[in-house]
Amino acid sequence: MILNCVIVDDSKIQRLSIVRLVKKHVSLNLIAEYKSALECKEGLKKHQIDLIFLDIEMPNLSGFELLDILNNKPQIIFVTGKTEYAFKAFDYDATDYLQKPITKKRFSDSVRKALKQHKLKLGIYEDDGEHIIVKSNQKKHQIFIKDIKWIEALGDYVKIVTEENTFIVLSSLKSFEAELPDDKFLRIQKSYLVNLEKIDRFSSTKVEVGDFEIPISRNKKHLLANALKHLQN
């Protein structure tokens, strides 16, 4: 799969460094490079773009201001030398936030995220294990069941904690309890559904998943012991 992309940065040196990375990546096709957000705004009228590598601090129109006026936004990977914009960047539903100078590995990781998001948008899912599809932060995410550590109830939402990420999803814990395999997951407390295979230690009052401790309800102690015994067999 190939993503058509553009680069927007007022620094020629920085543009060239990203151009080199883009041209060496087999999954990227560079359509254009722009030295200002205004140039990009006009350029996007002529091209169908999947991804923008976007600087934030630019004269006349910033990267954020460009996104404010675009109707159809492609995926955005912000590229900047500063860290203070990170939280605001994700308010703009950014795929990633790269801090200059950019290493080849960090760039590749970022592109991999963009490719995954593009596939999900097209309804193309990886097929190498049991998974669920959830919507978090206005994006679809494919989560492999084996990677889920626990799910926590947060009012009208749930927090799904995996090996690498955390997702906030508008749903109920009861819905996930019904969807996930009951031989692998157990609701050990009103607000927690735990992957039995991720439990490192447990006692009569709590389970430990890595450094995180979750209290056990009294009526769940025997269920947990039996479930773990069954899992081991």
* CATH assignment, 3-121: 3.40.50.2300
Strands (E), 59-156: 75-80, 96-99, 131-136, 139-144, 148-154
**Interval 73-92 mean pLDDT:** 85
Look at residue 126 and tell me whether its pLDDT is greater than 80: no
Structure tokens at 125: 């899912």
CA gap 37, 35 in Å, rounded:
7
**Interval 175-190 mean pLDDT:** 90
CA-derived radius of gyration, the chain? 22
118 backbone dihedrals φ, ψ, rounded to 5°: -65, -40
CA gap 101, 70 in Å, rounded:
27
User: Is it true that 3-121 and 131-232 share their CATH fold?
Assistant: no
- Total residue length of the chain: 233
Structure tokens at 41: 């705004």
Instruction: Grade residue 142 by pLDDT with cuts at 50, 70 and 90.
Output: confident
Q: Which CATH superfamily is domain 131-232 in?
A: LytTr DNA-binding domain (2.40.50.1020)
Look at residue 108 and tell me whether its pLDDT is greater than 80: yes
Spell out the domain ranges in the chain: 3-121, 131-232
**pLDDT for 232:** 64
**Interval 160-184 mean pLDDT:** 90
Is 173:153 a contact under the CB 8 Å cutoff?
yes
In sequence order, which residues have a C-beta less than 8 Å from that of residue 173 and are 6 or more positions away?
151, 152, 153, 158, 187, 191, 192, 193
What residues does 159 pair with on adjacent strands?
152, 168
Angle at 22 between CA 17 and CA 28, to 5 degrees: 170
**pLDDT for 127:** 67
**pLDDT for 185:** 92
Look at residue 117 and tell me whether its pLDDT is greater than 80: yes
> Measuring CA to CA, how many Å separate 210 from each of 34, 56, 85, 157, 213?
46, 37, 31, 23, 8
Is 107:21 a contact under the CB 8 Å cutoff?
yes
Is 96:113 a contact under the CB 8 Å cutoff?
yes
Please tell me which residue, 130 or 10, carries the higher pLDDT value. Answer: 10
> Average pLDDT over the chain, rounded to whole?
88
Structure tokens at 9: 């940065």
> Measuring CA to CA, how many Å separate 180 from each of 105, 144, 175, 207?
34, 11, 9, 20
